[in-house]
Structure 1
């Protein structure tokens, strides 16, 4: 039976921002809007100033990430997680989606 969820992680040099199961990840790159669903082909892209929308898995509890607490992400109870980073790289292999970004520290 194929995996029905994506394993999504948002990673910065400072910390693991989010680690959750999701139904989909959506955003927009230089070629246009895209969606990542389970069993997606291997994929890598750069995102600049476009929201990254993560739809939590129906069977997963929604995590309270540090990014949400710090204003980087927001969600409505049971709704999608929306992250706005100046730049991020999304890399998909099998059902794993890693989103690499940089969160400036207060000294930056």
Structure 2
């Protein structure tokens, strides 16, 4: 079981990414969709998230608003806890794949 302090540190990092323009410290784009947190990693990664499955996101809020991004290297950090939902609100809709 993960400790409360680990979980707080984990999600506080995601808040910092939001405050950094929805960009991680490694310049990866942050996506929040249907209460789930994702990161779009570079195409040249050795291992692709979701086995290289293609995702298409349309940004509805934040610095990427209006952009559509397609990636085959998306990583999921999990469902955003209720106590962070007010801060880490959705910034995109998933166009593909439909879950």
**TM-score (normalizing by structure 2):** 0.30
Greater strand share, structure number: 1
More helix by share: 2
Q: TM-score, normalised by structure 1?
A: 0.29
